[in-house]
Amino acid sequence: MERFRAVKCPDISAHLAGTKKVQQVLPRPGVLDRFFPDQPQAVQQIRATLADLYTLDMGPERDKTVSVALSAAERFVLKSQREGGGTAGG
């Protein structure tokens, strides 16, 4: 896609950075370190601004999410996977 000369707003990297899946992976240990290998303080500052996102996709990770959420439901917000923040009714 990036081979086209058309103006893109946002470009593909900025668009992907805003997706929930990327936001879900960023706080995991070692992920930010790949992008800032010599800047542990920057990694720590960035990680402090991120919230953990958990999946409800089928599998072991979902089972862990459900278990943690049921034990402390007041700490969680359930959001749809829809991008853009819109409502189902439009």
Tens of each residue's pLDDT in the chain, 90 residues = 567 777 767 778 888 877 888 888 888 889 999 999 999 999 999 989 988 888 787 888 888 888 888 898 888 887 766 655 555 544
Domain-embedded: residue 79: no
Which residues make Cβ contacts (< 8 Å) with residue 36, sequence separation at least 6? 42, 43, 46
**For residue 5, what are the CA distances in angstroms to 12, 14, 35, 67?**
13, 17, 27, 48
Q: What is the pTM of this model?
A: 0.58
Domain-embedded: residue 81: no
Q: Residue 27 corresponds to which amino acid?
A: P
Range of the domain at 50: 12-72
The total domain count for the chain is 1
pLDDT in the model for residue 54: 82
Domain-embedded: residue 29: yes
Q: Give the whole-angstrom CA distance, residue 72 versus residue 75.
A: 6
Q: Give the whole-angstrom CA distance, residue 25 versus residue 30.
A: 10
